[in-house]
A = this chain, B = another copy of it.
C-alpha cells in the first residue's frame, strides 16, 4: 500500500444539492466534495475534477461517455466518482470497459449540506475501496461495497441491494 493518488470525478447528484431561498428550490451547486475531504482530514494526495453537475436522471449517453473518458485517460488508477443515485448503475455499466483501474461510484440519499447525511460515510467507503479493491467498477452505498454490475437501487426502500 504505497501512498496513492486518488482522482475524484464529481458529476452532481443529491450529494451536491443545496437549497436556494431566492429560487425556492433545490439545485446542484459547486461541489461540496473538497470541503468534505478537508473535514475528513484526508492527508492522501487527491485531485478533484468536475465532469458535470446534473441530477443523474438528466445524464445522457454523451455524459456517461465523457465520465468514462475522464476515468480512462487519467494517470491515476484509483478513481472515486460522486454521482446521483438514480442512474448510478447505468454509469457503472458505461465504465465497465475501462481497464486496469479501480473505480468506485458513490453518492448520497441526503445532501451533504444536511446536518444528518450519509455523504461523508459513503465518500469514506469509496476512498478505502479505491485503495484496496481489485481493478473493476464498484458502487459504495448503504454501508456496502457492491460489484457495480450486480446491484440495483430499491428506490422505495431507500437503499441499494445486490442482484442475485
Residues of A within 8 A of B (CB): 1, 3-4, 14, 17, 19, 21-22, 24-26, 36-37, 39-44, 46, 55, 57, 85-86, 109-111, 113-118, 120-129, 131-133, 140, 142-147, 155-156, 158-162
Residues of B within 8 A of A21 (CB): 14, 85, 109-110, 155, 158
Contacts A42-B143, A44-B142 given; indicate if A3 touches B158 (C-beta within 8 A). no
Given contacts A22-B158, A116-B113, contact A145 B121 (CB under 8 A): no
Residues from chain B with Cβ under 8 Å of A147 in the complex:
1
Complex CA distance for A46 and B142, rounded to whole angstroms: 12
CA A19 to CA B109, docked complex, whole Å: 9
